[in-house]
Structure 1
């Protein structure tokens, strides 16, 4: 089995306005951006320094009419995309986009978990390796959070597929239990049952920045909004969930206020 099986290796934003989204995230996070040179659509590679970490693309009218929604999606590395898609369907998930190839890159599929949270599974071309960025990479994604319909059954689903381990269970009071999950004993994210005010289950990705207050200032100056916070979390880091100008949700995490 690949050393990267079950790890998030790519993050992608589908947006209604690609130029505006590019300008926003360049201003807020400082990603380097370049065109991927795909033959069939414009696709912007997002890099933290020299390290590619994700992509950005505009949704077409046909995709919107078919029900596609703007937002961020995480790609999880797997050994066999087709076999994993079958397992996801057998476990009650849904296939949003069937498995297909990206010439010269790899094979992927977009799916919903049984509670409706969307994610992607991916295998790189060649030997299938695509190393994730280190969790503390500036401009990289440092944390992965699932707001589930039911935390316990969601954890069981993902643990069975990807071998995620059980980390610390943090009591959040009225908000319930926040269950941290691990890969190889290393915490990479957490899951909790969503609040009743949230419209649907979803994955939220936390991007590393230097200082949370300075980053909040950049979000507001660039036309985004802060959902709430900032909040200090166990371990001392500061976090804040935000909306970009197209109302796509993302989050920021920093070691200092």
Structure 2
């Protein structure tokens, strides 16, 4: 009998821990996000001429990282556009990958080790929304995370679901997420706030018609969305929607970077 995550998971199982950008031009994308969000970049050679770029808050090696960036692999170019993907911590990547399959999801990349970092896999829910799952390696020298909501942090995780109830049931079984509350959006249906270990972590809604397929999207905190969207346009990105005030008093905007990756901005003031 398959056990649920809520029965077996630790205090970190089901927690978003990282965001990663795969892009066609890392130099241009790095300059863009440094301007728009305020991140600094730290290049980490990976061998064979490949470089992984860390997005950090502040300058120097001791600054906290919130995500990374790499060149879109050649085998995906032309098939997968530049995109952001979130990483969710799990206690056992191999077991969670099997749980994905057992519950109607799929494994896009089988579990494998990243030396010194952890073991990860690329997975998709039953409707095709992709995430990465990871069991991180123990690290004693990690810098302290910045205060929640600080500029540059990842503030929200949002699923455009193929079917809201089916998707919520799936993620509840896999990660142990629970329902926080629903917000009625009228003709668009319910917007469901979900919690990870009792703490709000994001929202889910039925995929809008203009979104081509179910997917996860990520909100980056800035001091002012209004000011940030000016930087988006100046840097060659596009503002698709916003600034818009949402329940709770936050302001958001939905954008694409110059290479076409979709992302969102959030702030407590316009």
TM-score, length of structure 1 as denominator length: 0.94
Does residue 179 of structure 2 align to residue 160 of structure 1?
no
Please list the CA deviations of residues 154-184 of structure 1 after superposition, one character each: whole Å capped at 9, or x if unmatched: 0000011111111110001121100000122
Aligned-partner SS, 2:32: helix
| Map of 2:162 onto structure 1 | 149
| Map of 1:140 onto structure 2 | 153
CA distance in 2, matches of 1:30, 1:139: 6
CA distance in 2, matches of 1:128, 1:115: 38
CA distance in 2, matches of 1:121, 1:128: 21
CA distance in 1, matches of 2:121, 2:185: 34
CA distance in 2, matches of 1:6, 1:128: 21
CA distance in 2, matches of 1:59, 1:137: 29
Does residue 231 of structure 2 align to residue 218 of structure 1?
yes
Runs of 5+ consecutive residues of structure 2 not aligned to the other structure: 1-8
TM-score, length of structure 2 as denominator length: 0.90
Please list the CA deviations of residues 118-143 of structure 1 after superposition, one character each: whole Å capped at 9, or x if unmatched: 10100111379989765413201010
CA distance in 2, matches of 1:39, 1:68: 24
Contact 1:46 1:53 in 2 (8 A): yes
| Map of 1:43 onto structure 2 | 52
| Map of 1:118 onto structure 2 | 130
Paired residues, number: 256
| Map of 2:253 onto structure 1 | 240
Contact 1:9 1:133 in 2 (8 A): no
Aligned-partner SS, 2:132: strand
CA distance in 1, matches of 2:14, 2:223: 28
Aligned-partner SS, 2:51: coil
| Map of 1:169 onto structure 2 | 182
Please, what is the CA RMSD of the aligned residues?
1.9
